[in-house]
Each structure stands twice: as C-alpha cells, then as structure tokens.
C-alpha cells in the first residue's frame, strides 16, 4: 500500500511537472506573440511614414513635370516667333546688295565736285 501511495504521488508529481512545463511554454509563446505584435506595429508605422514620404516626393515630381511641360509649351510658342535660318540668310544677301555705306551723301558729293 505504501508503494501504491508513492506510485500515485510520483504520478501526481509528473502531472504537476507537465502542467508547469505547459504553463511555461504557454508563457513563452505569449511573450513571443506580444513581441511579434510590437514588431508589427513598429513596422506598420515605418511603412506608413515611408509611404507618406514617397507620396510627398511623387507630388513634388508631378509639380516639376508640370512646370517643365509649361516651360516647354511657352518655349515652343516663342521659338515659332523667331526667324528661320533661311530667312536670315536672305536678309543678309539683300543687305550685301544694298550696302548703304557705299552711297555718298549730297553734301559729300558737292564737296568732291566743287
């Protein structure tokens, strides 16, 4: 009978040890779960901040692109107002034919004659 009580007592102690082991494993899992939760919250905050910065940069790039388009449109309109190279060459040829410096003023002509 003493053996039976001792056997039951050791079985009960084993059960208590198993319960304690399970409780310890449960506590460790709970701690790990809490740590994972904290990491997820931190990661979410980092991603949100990064996303916000990317949106700001994208908006800035859109503004720069729009200003560039506007400048290109204005420049294109202004370039159409300039003379073409061929037109300038024609004017240069006409100026060479005319050459006003070769003409004599009336006063200078009278001095030369008289």
Instruction: Output the six-digit token pair for 42.
Output: 């931190």
Distances (CA, A) of 52 to 43, 48, 70, 72, 80: 14, 6, 27, 30, 42
Spell out the alpha helix ranges (H) of the chain.
2-79, 85-98, 106-113
Q: Which residues contact 91 (CB under 8 A, 6 or more apart)?
A: 83
Share of the chain above pLDDT 70, in %: 85
Taking only the tens place, the pLDDT of each residue in 34-87 is 999 999 999 999 999 999 999 999 999 999 999 999 999 998 888 777 778 888
Q: What's residue 98's pLDDT?
A: 73
């Amino acid at each position: 009978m003493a053996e039976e009580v001792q056997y039951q007592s050791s079985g009960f102690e084993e059960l208590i040890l198993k319960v304690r082991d399970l409780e310890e494993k449960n506590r460790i899992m709970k701690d790990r779960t809490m740590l994972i939760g904290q990491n997820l919250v931190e990661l979410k905050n980092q991603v949100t901040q990064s996303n916000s910065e990317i949106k700001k940069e994208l908006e800035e790039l859109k503004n720069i692109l729009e200003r560039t388009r506007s400048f290109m449109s204005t420049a294109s309109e202004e370039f159409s107002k300039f003379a073409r190279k061929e037109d300038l060459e024609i004017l240069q040829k006409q100026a060479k034919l005319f050459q006003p410096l070769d003409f004599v003023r009336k006063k200078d002509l009278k001095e030369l004659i008289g």
